[in-house]
């Protein structure tokens, strides 16, 4: 019997994804000039041959002055639609991603207070921007405080002018991606980046129209979504990635309220992930400090591959028509099919296995391959010897991201890729 993973999925905008397997966004760390380059294109051309139902790119930053990584592609200036050289560069990227017919969706992002000192053109000692001036806290120990001080500047609260400028940057970036020929954009509202900072009461202490209630904290994201929809074709997909793991039981209903507002605004899909730099659950390294908050996973979630399954089930119950993507932890056909058959999601996001095997979907969708062989199990990435002296959650997550970025770079060069050694 054909796998449910092979079913096509039609988004509300009309875009049809040929199957349910999505190459999830990962850090590539290859854009030294902060523009798409041949190496980056070579990696995505490999994925375009892999049988994916959709390809989500790594972060494209909407402001070159505030970067999540020093080596992400970014928008360098205002996009008016008249810069033919800029458009030509991004058209090559879109063409490489979609060379074999797979729709490609660009993850667009602003890191807010999580922009590293060495990332972006604002200068090492310039402040980051955030909804409120809440510094990053990776722990109360002396080592943790020193690391945070060296790694990140303290943020300043965004003015109304800052908010309007960042909204324009998101819209400009989305319009550039549409003009370049991509199939859609995904707003990165998870992992502690700027959109997540506005949504979350831990980092948004504002008392104006952008803070104070769940609805007001969602306004920044809703304004971005609404303005993008005005600027792109109606067939251009707009999705969002949201966190599940950084909301405690006391704020759960606030998160559900915000999701309902996004759905009403015309969202094409919602990707569920989780974690932040302070608590990197998306990498399988939860924060073990007393400050880390969250609820224990149920037995059902613990027994499955997906990291954020329980949250996805709740969203599905409240929004049965919403196209859901669940990302984090899928390693086998059986696990992916279980999430689909159980109604937890419509799309399965696969990240780290895609860096090791760009054609992983061809294995999962091959009916002649038995379930026990339709797998790609991964150990934790190796960490440096000095890691025992540093916060385990942060160093472990950094090691994971760096290791798989290295595999993507090998993939781009046509070299063999490797899963972490057992």
Task: Tell me the pLDDT tens digit for each residue of 120-147.
Answer: 999 999 999 999 999 998 888 888 888 8
Look at residue 367 and give its three-state secondary structure: coil
Residue 142: per-residue pLDDT = 86
Residue 170 lies in a domain: yes
CA pair distance 129, 133, nearest whole angstrom:
8
Q: Smallest Cα–Cα separation from 384: which of 370, 369, 371, 396?
A: 396
Domain coverage including residue 181: 4-412
Q: Smallest Cα–Cα separation from 169: which of 87, 65, 30?
A: 65
Q: Where are the beta strands (DSSP E) in 99-204?
A: 104-109, 128-130, 155-157, 184-189
Q: Per-residue confidence at 291, pLDDT binned at 50, 70, 90?
A: very low
* DSSP code for 94: H
CA distances from 87 to 64, 81, 83, 178, 281 (A): 17, 8, 6, 10, 36
Residue 98: per-residue pLDDT = 98
For residues 108, 112, 117, 121, the Cα torsion angle rounded to the nearest 10 degrees is 60
CA pair distance 272, 173, nearest whole angstrom:
22
Count how many domains the chain has. Answer: 1
- pLDDT tens per residue, range 340-371: 999 999 999 999 999 999 999 999 999 999 99
Residue 265 lies in a domain: yes
Residue 419 lies in a domain: no
Residue 131 lies in a domain: yes
Mean pLDDT over all residues of the chain?
89
pTM score: 0.91
- pLDDT tens per residue, range 46-99: 999 999 999 999 999 999 999 999 999 999 999 988 889 999 999 999 999 999
Chain centroid to CA 26: 7
Alpha helices in 218-331 (DSSP H): 219-231, 252-264, 299-302, 309-318
Residue 421 lies in a domain: no
Give the CATH number of the domain where residue 76 resides. 3.20.20.70
Residue 422 lies in a domain: no
Residue 173 lies in a domain: yes
Residue 181 has pLDDT above 50, yes or no: yes
Residue 22 lies in a domain: yes
């Amino acid at each position: 019997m054909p796998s449910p993973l092979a079913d096509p999925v039609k988004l509300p905008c009309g875009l049809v994804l040929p199957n349910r397997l999505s190459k999830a966004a990962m850090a590539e760390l290859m854009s030294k000039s902060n523009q798409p380059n041949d190496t980056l294109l070579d990696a995505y051309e490999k994925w375009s041959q892999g049988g994916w139902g959709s390809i989500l790119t790594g972060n494209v930053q909407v402001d070159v002055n505030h970067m999540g990584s020093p080596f992400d592609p970014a928008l360098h200036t205002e996009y008016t639609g008249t810069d033919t050289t800029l458009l030509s560069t991004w058209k090559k990227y879109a063409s490489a991603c979609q060379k074999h017919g797979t729709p490609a969706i660009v993850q667009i992002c602003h890191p807010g207070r999580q922009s590293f000192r060495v990332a972006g053109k604002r200068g090492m000692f310039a402040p980051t921007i955030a909804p409120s001036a809440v510094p990053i806290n990776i722990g109360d120990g002396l080592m943790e405080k020193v690391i945070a001080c060296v790694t990140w500047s303290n943020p300043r609260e965004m003015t109304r002018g800052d908010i309007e400028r960042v909204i324009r940057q998101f819209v400009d970036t989305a319009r550039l991606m549409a003009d370049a020929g991509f199939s859609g954009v995904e707003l990165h509202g998870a992992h502690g980046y700027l959109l997540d900072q506005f949504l979350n009461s831990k980092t948004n202490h504002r008392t104006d129209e952008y803070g104070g209630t769940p609805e007001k904290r969602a306004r920044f994201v809703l304004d971005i979504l609404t303005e993008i929809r005005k600027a792109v074709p109606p067939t251009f997909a707009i999705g969002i990635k949201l966190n599940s793991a950084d909301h405690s039981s006391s704020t759960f209903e606030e998160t559900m309220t915000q999701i309902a507002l996004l759905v009403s605004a015309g969202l094409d899909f919602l990707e569920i992930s989780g974690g932040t730099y302070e608590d990197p659950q998306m990498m399988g390294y939860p924060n073990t400090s007393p400050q880390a908050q969250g609820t224990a996973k149920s037995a059902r979630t613990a027994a499955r591959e997906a990291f954020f399954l329980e949250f996805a089930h709740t969203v599905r119950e409240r929004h049965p028509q919403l196209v859901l993507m669940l990302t984090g932890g899928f390693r086998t056909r059986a696990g992916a099919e279980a999430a689909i058959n159980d109604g937890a999601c419509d799309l399965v996001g696969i990240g780290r296995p895609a860096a090791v095997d760009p054609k992983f979907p061809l294995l999962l969708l091959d009916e002649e391959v038995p379930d026990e062989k339709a797998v790609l199990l991964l150990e934790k990435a190796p960490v440096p010897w000095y890691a025992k002296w540093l916060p385990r959650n942060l160093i472990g997550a950094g090691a994971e991201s760096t290791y798989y970025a290295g595999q993507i770079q090998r993939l781009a060069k046509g070299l063999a890729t490797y899963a972490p050694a057992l």
